[in-house]
Structure 1
Amino acid sequence: MDTNDKNFEDQAKETAKNLEQEAQKTANEFKEGWNQATNNTNNLKLVCGLLGIFLGTFGIHKFVLGYTKEGVIQLIAGIVTCGFAGIIGLIEGIIYLTKTDEEFYQTYQVGKKPWF
């Protein structure tokens, strides 16, 4: 093996080592941040909380969270009970607003808890 081959082999090993370190760093950053609440969660919490309090009879807060089936149930219950089922939305809106951003994110976006 001549000197050029040895230098090329050393450079290839160094490059591979650098790429491995970079990939490991990126993987660690992804693991740390993938399940964290973002600023959008705070906005979603506020929006859903207020919608639950003011328009809970129509289940709009459920639709915003992506709970279509539960939103339809809330809407039908609100119509059938002439708005009395809106108490559920009121309670849920207050619960949403009293949770921390992280609790809200973990419970309603990650855990997909549809009621209370």
Structure 2
Amino acid sequence: MENNQSYKSEKKLAAGILGILVGYLGIHKFYLGYKKEGIIQIVLTFVTFGFAGIIPFVEGIMYLMKSDEEFDKTYIQGKKGWF
């Protein structure tokens, strides 16, 4: 990195918080640009009467546990849709 600045992900914090708080609606997926996965999350939530809401909760925690650079490589550049 130039000027000895640490790497900073622009979407990690927001995606993590959205996943934890309103992920059952697929908001974190739409925020990251994953339309198909967002729609799947909404359908899963309704089909399972909300039990599939644990998936985005876990994903939100995983997002926040990754380093900023690892998050960007995996979810922004690598376009990994799930976990």
Q: Is the pair's TM-score, using the shorter chain for normalization, greater than 0.5? A: yes
Deviating beyond 4 angstroms after TM superposition, the runs of 4 or more aligned structure 1 residues are none
Aligned residue in 2 for 1:27: none
The unaligned stretches of length 5 or more in structure 1 are: 1-31
What amino acid maps onto 2:70 in structure 1?
E
Q: Which has the higher relative contact order, 1 or 2, with Cα contacts under 8 A spaced 6 or more apart? A: 2
- Selected match of 2:40 from 52, 64, 73: 73
Pairing 1:64–2:34 present: no
1:81 offset after TM fit, Å? 1.1
Equivalent pairs counted in the alignment come to: 80
How far, CA to CA, are the matches of 2:24 and 2:45 in structure 1? Answer: 5
Greater CA radius of gyration, 1 or 2?
1
Q: Percent identity?
A: 57
Structure 1 residues 69-104: Cα deviation after superposition (integer angstroms, max 9, x where no partner): 000000110111111111000000000000000000
Structure with the higher helix share, 1 or 2: 1
Pairing 1:51–2:34 present: no
The unaligned stretches of length 5 or more in structure 2 are: none
TM-score normalised per structure 2: 0.88
TM-score normalised per structure 1: 0.64
